[in-house]
Amino acid sequence: MNNQDKKTITLPVLSGEKGWTELKIPDSYGKGRAFITGDRSSDRIRVRYFKKDSDNSFIARIWFGPSTEGPAGFVHGGSMAAVLDEAMGIAAWILGYTVVAAKITVHYRNMLPLGTVTTIEAKVTSVNGKKIITNGKIYDETETLYTESEGLFINIPPERFGKMIMYRDTFQRS
């Protein structure tokens, strides 16, 4: 890439709203390599996580940078699916479930332009034994809906997560 091909990327401020409590992800989470949260200087994905005080549901602000490009000028669907997977999983962790994804279904509603600051909401919709069902969606400030998703997560014993379980309290703070 030559200097003419390089573009200056302005990273947005991802702020919460009144009634949201930020969930701070430690720098050591995943040893800084976690796919979504691991590279804070990236032009890929920038994210800040929150918990809604009113109902303890998960919410986030996210920016999809140029390195998430799929179709020219738009976010790759796999990038959106990865973020929804993580968001729906955290929604379950907030409620005390230690889950892993078994199946996620993503419905793409509109193409998401690169550089758009979006909001992600995710919540647990049902619990049946070890099966936790979640829903998630990505939309922007004009309420344009980009994706909706449903996830089947399996609640597993916390000790199966090994050392990672120490991060559980990050998601359960009130």
Q: Could you tell me the pLDDT band of residue 160, with boundaries at 50, 70 and 90?
A: confident
pLDDT level of residue 158 (50, 70, 90 thresholds): confident
CATH number of the structural domain spanning residue 71: 3.10.129.10
Tens digits of residue pLDDT in 36-50? 655 555 677 888 899
**Looking at the domain assignment, is residue 8 inside a domain?**
no
In a domain, 12, yes or no: no
47 vs 50: CA distance, rounded Å: 10
Residue 13 lies in a domain: no
Q: What is the total count of domains within the chain?
A: 1
Residue 130 has, within 13 A of its CA and on its CB side, a CA count of: 9
Give the domain range for residue 138.
26-169
Q: How far is CA 67 from the centre of its chain?
A: 17
- What pLDDT is recorded for position 117? 93
Cα–Cα dist 125/133, whole Å: 6
Instruction: Say how many CA atoms lie within 13 Å of 115 toward its Cβ.
Output: 8
In a domain, 5, yes or no: no
Q: Within 3-119, where are the H helices?
A: 77-94
CA 42/CA 1 separation, integer angstroms: 17
**Tally of CB atoms within 10 A around 174:** 7
Residue 174 lies in a domain: no
Indicate whether this model's pTM tops 0.95: no
d(CA 62, CA 2): 29
Q: Is 14 among the domain residues? A: no
Q: Is the pLDDT of residue 168 over 60?
A: no
Whether residue 44 lies inside any domain: the answer is yes
Mean pLDDT over 128-144 rounds to: 97
